[in-house]
Amino acid sequence: MLNLAQLNRNIRSIRRYRQIGRVLFKYGFDHFLEYLNLSHFVARGKRIFRRDEMKIAQLSPAERMRLALEELGPSFVKLGQLLSTRPDVLPRSYITEFAKLQDQVPSFSFEEVRAQIRAELGGELEELFSSFDQEPIAAASIAQVHRARLTSGEEVVVKVRRPYVVELVETDIDVLMGLAALAERHLPGSDIYDPVGLVREFARTIRREMDFSREGHTIEKIAGNFVGDKSLYFPKVYWKTTSKGALTMEYIDGIKVSDLPALELAGLDRTRIAKRGADAFLKMVLIHGFFHGDPHPGNVFILPDNTICLLDYGMVGRLDEQLKGYLIDLLLAIIRRDIDEVVSLLSYSGDLPDPLNVRALKRDISEFIDSYYDLPLQEIEVGQMLMEFIELITTYHIRMQPDLMLLSKALITVEGMGRELDPRFDMIEHLQPFMEMALRERVSPRHLAKDVQEHFFALAHLIKNLPKDFKEILNRINRNKFKIDLEHRGLDRFIQELDKSINRLSSSLIIAALIVGSSIVMQIDRGPRLLGFPIFAFLGYTVAGFIGLWWVIAILRSGRL
């Protein structure tokens, strides 16, 4: 049975591929599609799409790519924002440019808002809210936000998802997955960056961001971690008017943390706010392992009594116990200048390439640590130091966990806000008690007993299954079903080029055969004629000429004479 929904999705994907091609050609990235073995499309693009070349050529590649992502729309803007947290994938110039990506788009109409509310909440807008502002207070690529009042009287904000945005994003995910698969197949060394894995991470992130009920649960989970802490305030979620496509939260009337004159005018203590913010963020990371991934100043409001309120929980990071321990050990090894321990931790993480120049890695790590060694602690920016360390080790193709990338960027933002609020702000001073607490916890009898128990059960499980696994191996050998799969890397492109060469050689042989056969027919004075020539000879020369001309044009277009 024909799946019309899948067919429609495939048609949208084809249209999206064409649009992406046009934008890439416009901004001078046609060579990227050549690398993906789409040179025939590139040739048409050069002829049709290349306009304003002089103006675009004056921009850097990073600037051109940022403009291309903005023109391609919401999904690609979100992808760029995600990549701006991945210095292990992109050079610093691209990281800097992608951090400028703006998620501001025109708002959609109030009638569409009304229709979305009806579809998501199962009732008319007037039945659910006593008042609802028609003009949004903010509009982004995924949703827009309106002020409203519930029938029970509470002041709220309602986040409404854009119509058809889910379908558009799913189409873009399909297209990006196809491009990532082509990159892994055709781009040399792409396996180091794992393009398909990056797209999967992006798909997981943006799908989670489009599910507003998940964001509501995230708010309540983080709020539950800070029960009894009066330094933080979390907006209340109203679940009766919340769904996957609509989120209703308490309206927060506060002062943006970046509005320093307003903070002074309100008599708030900037030093205390900086301390509270740093301690709260470090507690999220090192104690709870669940942190706000986008704490920029627009998402941080200050309430009376120096209380901090965080907004927009669409992007969050997670650190499990193993990753938290790895991060703490890595920071301690850097602070102690223990180069061998740093390399050992990187090796233990399992993300080292093979082969690796360990001597050069140790030398560069030593130089990195020396650059911070003579600085006073209050001058060291922990987030920037972590980002520079990640950039260093990625030159050796060492992979880091995506959540550590997100953490380093969030930490830079938190430190920047802290230093703006208080010029004497010192993140290491705030970090030290948490690291000491983590180290004390690690050597506590309870934690040691837990480790011994976990290792004992793991060893017991291994011993229990070892005879069965060994027997299975022997049975497979006896049945001649024991297989060892070997993967040849780097041969795909060679095989493709070999296929092209064989095809050209075959075509050359066909042309030669047509010419020779036609020449022989010319010598035979028999058969039908056209313009005084044997018709079969005439057809042979014509076909040979067309094939030869087509190959000459193809070779000239490819630029490989």
CB 280 within 8 A of CB 185: no
Q: Is the dihedral of CA 49, 51, 53, 58 positive or negative?
A: negative
294 is catalytic: yes
Alpha carbon 225 to chain centroid, angstroms:
27
Instruction: Establish whether the linkage from the previous residue to 355 is cis, with ω within 30° of 0.
Output: yes
Cα atoms in the Cβ-side hemisphere of radius 13 Å centred on 414:
33
What residues form DSSP beta bridges with 250?
156
- Tokens 């010319």 map to which residue? 522
CB 537 within 8 A of CB 519: yes
Separation between Cα atoms, residue 393 and residue 343, nearest integer Å: 10
Backbone angles phi and psi of 84, in degrees to 5:
-70, -10
Backbone angles phi and psi of 376, in degrees to 5:
-60, 150
Q: What is the 3-state secondary structure (H, E, C) of 410-464?
A: HHHHHHHHHHHHCCCCCHHHHHHHHHHHHHHHHCCHHHHHHHHHHHHHHHHHHHH
Q: Could you say which of 294, 312, 329, 426 is catalytic?
A: 294
Separation between Cα atoms, residue 48 and residue 32, nearest integer Å: 17
Helix (H, G, I), strand (E, B) or coil at 302: strand
Separation between Cα atoms, residue 48 and residue 40, nearest integer Å: 13
Q: Provide the annotated active-site residues.
A: 294
